[in-house]
Amino acid sequence: MNHASTIDPAETDEIDEAVFVARIEAFHEGRCRRWDDVDPTADSNDEPAGTDLDGLAAARQYQSALADAGLAGLNYPSEYGGAGLTQRHQEIFTRIAAAWHRPDGPLSISHGMCLPMLNQYGSHEQKVAHMADAIRGSVVWCQMFSEPGAGSDVAGLSTRAIRDGDEWILDGQKVWTSGAHYCDFGLVVARTDPTMPKHQGLSMFIVDLRTPGVEIRPLVQISGARGFNEVFFDDVRIPANNLLGDVNQGWNLAVSMLMFERVSIGAGGGVFNAKRNPDLIQLAQDLERSDEPLVRQALADLYIREEIKGYVAQRIRSAVAAGRVPGPEGSIAKLTGALVARRTRDAAMAILGTSGQAFGDGPTAEKARRWSDFCISAAGISIAGGTDEVQRNIIGERVLGLPKEPDPHKGAAWQDVPRN
């Protein structure tokens, strides 16, 4: 069902930005709080995709209301459940909505990674079948790339897909899959031709996670969070028309999807991209440490880096809203975000001291606990979507023009490459 009729059709041709901004603000008033009024550490123990079913219910309610207001899927075609508006509408919405603490975390991968892939690479039939429900939030998606033996080297994955008549048979294991325990569908990269070099024999598939043979096991982290999962495929039969794109062209799709992920991490909204410097200043004042030179220096440095990150993010979001698939700039945004997260962690622990590791019952104990949770999770931002080292390699090769690292197995069939 298309809910874009609440938007004046004239807006599709010539935007009255002030009017459109007012509509976005009016929608969020009473539903959400501004980030300026929220302690960002309150959500710091959540995974990017969220971990609890209450959070999922809130996300779906928010997204459903957004669709009813004609503000969901703004730049997706109306025939696929979008609002049928322009890239400029999406750019404005992204910029204005970023100021609000929206409860859409559990949908971040579904909307930030999977929907763009369906829109760009899906067939007409796939878009009709899946996009409207995903836009509305009634169906949630995840991505499944990493494996126990293929982390940073995603192209080395070993999950197999073998054609059998009108079906593909999927066997293998994925790991660190965010949100799989509450998702309905996933995009899976599997090896379809082991006789080809590792980057050339991959394909991407749409998988219904309720299909027999799919087993999802949550991974319990040291913090108690359960946002990541192992996913096992045991003779899972999927229809042949669930192939996304062309056979053995999955690496190109995987690269596009990884760039969408890096942009989501480095230039998206939500808890990982909220400015934390104001709350650290308040924390330093509460602990009577705001006059210490080293603390003031750390806070000033963090302020500068957060402002730079904001400008990088704004540039990336504008490019994405203009319809461009993120290139190496996605790596720049992601690397910048990871650096800011680490600087924030270091500043927080310097201010908290031992109270960041051993909590008492004082007035700042709860805030210290939340900052400690954030500090534990901050390192993960340097891993998700490709490690910092991977991002530096991409920037070096595609921006600076440096030579690639030598690969002794370049051009060799995947099945002939030694593996541990």
Which residues are the active-site residues?
261
Spatial contact of 190 and 172, defined as CB atoms under 8 Å apart:
yes
The closest of 154, 7, 147 to 69, measured between CA atoms, is: 7
CA 415 to each of CA 106, 149, 411, 418: distance values in angstroms, whole numbers, following the listed order: 37, 14, 12, 8
Q: Please, which contacts does 11-19 make with residues 24 or more away whose CB atoms are closer than 8 Å?
A: 11/85, 11/89, 12/84, 12/85, 12/86, 12/89, 15/86, 15/88, 15/89, 15/92, 17/92
Work out the angle between the directed axes of helices 250-267 and 328-352 (0-180°, nearest 10).
Answer: 40
Both tokens of 24, joined, read 């976005």
User: What is the rounded CA–CA span in Å between residue 385 and residue 48?
Assistant: 11
Residues with Cβ within 8 Å of residue 419, at least 6 apart in sequence: 149, 156, 158
Cβ neighbours of residue 110 under 8 Å, at least 6 residues apart?
134, 137, 140, 141, 142, 183
Decide the pairing of beta strands 141-144 and 185-191: parallel
CA distance 144 to 179: 10
Identify which of 6, 318, 260 has the alpha carbon closest to the alpha carbon of residue 111: 260
Output the DSSP codes for 350-379: HHHGGGGTS--SSTTHHHHHHHHHHHHHHG
Alpha helices in 236-327 (DSSP H): 250-267, 277-286, 293-321
Helix locations, 14-141, DSSP H: 17-28, 53-68, 87-97, 108-109, 115-121, 124-136
CB of 70 within 8 A of CB of 5?
Answer: yes
Angle 328-352/388-398 helices, nearest 10 degrees? 140
Residue with tokens 């690639």: 404
How far apart (Å, rounded) are the C-alpha atoms in residues 257 and 378? 23
Distance CA 168, CA 419 (A): 25
